[in-house]
Homo-oligomer: A and B are copies of this chain.
Amino acid sequence: MILRIDRLGVELPPPSDPDPQGAQAVQELMGGRFGEMSTLMNYTFQSFNFRNRQGARPFFDLIANIAAEEYGHIELVAAAINTMLTGATPVDDGRAPDNALEHLKDESINPHHFLNGGQGALPQDSRGAPWTGDYVFSSGDLVEDLTHNYFLETGARNGKLRVYEMCSHPAARALTGYLLVRGGVHQVAYARALEKLTGADLTKLFPSPRISTSKIPECQPHIEKGLHRTLYRFSPKDYQEIVAVWNGPHPETGEDLIVEQGPPEGAPWYDLPPQPAVFAPDYAPEEISEIAQRLRKEAGLPDDPLGEVANPGNGLLGKVKDKLT
């Protein structure tokens, strides 16, 4: 079971200029073979299928716990894509019937972002090909699963670096800067687990690809906070034995690896404004708000929503419009 927290693992910028072409590219980090859906589901299924857990508890805890962090990563990728798509259609008066989507027709976009979805993230890659369960590797053999995971994180790191190079949109850069640091932690974790289990020394494979994370400006703030050597424990009480694997020096910096007993503080989501041209959340969003407010009252809830967002008072709509005009 999981408990869900309505916060992102790291702060993302508010929407600014829309970048639907960039959003298409960022989808590779969501639904590509090496995207976050893949890291999430690979480790999740491996943890489900782990036999002899008590006998190999530190390794089970490691995989299960990293799986938990990956959920937060698909969330971050989605938030970045949604931010980049915001404003790609008119934000307030862009109601059908009109040609509110026509300017997108000739662009290099994922057409499903507009024709099928509601300007939101999809479990697809940069080609528009759906993520598939055949991307999951769960052989049961622990050494082999860990070898896979190390390789998967390596491929994921490559993908993040390239999306970084293709997309300079602030949301994409904030995303990749963070994911590179956190994915690097997982890459080290699996290498370390293999070493603990077999004695094989993969230290010299780092960094792979051979550009140090420390060279990426957007990674700096996270490195300065030590996130590159910190494994969070994403559980109220469980997965405590990760300390038996995540210890010793970092292969690149030599600093001590440390376990943080809980998730990062993170940051609230921006409440992204409606995009009525695609009926998200409605052709006439204000009607839903009225109904919701009535229901809230009937249920005895306070006037202001109980959920926290980065932009209380919903001033974002105006900001996006300002930006666009």
Contact = CB atoms under 8 A, between A and B. Distances in A.
Given A1-B4, A2-B2, 10 more contacts: A37-B133, A49-B120, A51-B280, A54-B309, A97-B217, A112-B127, A122-B133, A197-B288, A239-B307, A247-B299
Interface in A48-94: 48-61, 64-65, 67-68, 71-72, 74-75, 78-79, 82
Given A5-B238, A210-B282, A205 B194 contact: yes
A162 B295 CA distance: 30
A209 interface: yes
Interface size bracket, A side:
35 or more
B54 A1 contact: no
A245 to B, nearest CB: 7
Interface in A277-297: 277-289, 291-292, 295-296
A130 B132 contact: yes
A124 B137 CA distance: 12
Contacts of A14: none
Interface in A133-152: 133-134, 136-144, 147-148, 150-151
A274 interface: yes
Interface in A215-245: 215-217, 234-241, 243-245
Contacts of A287: 210
A116 B82 contact: no
Contacts of A5: 1-3, 235-238
A39 interface: no
Nearest to A29: B115
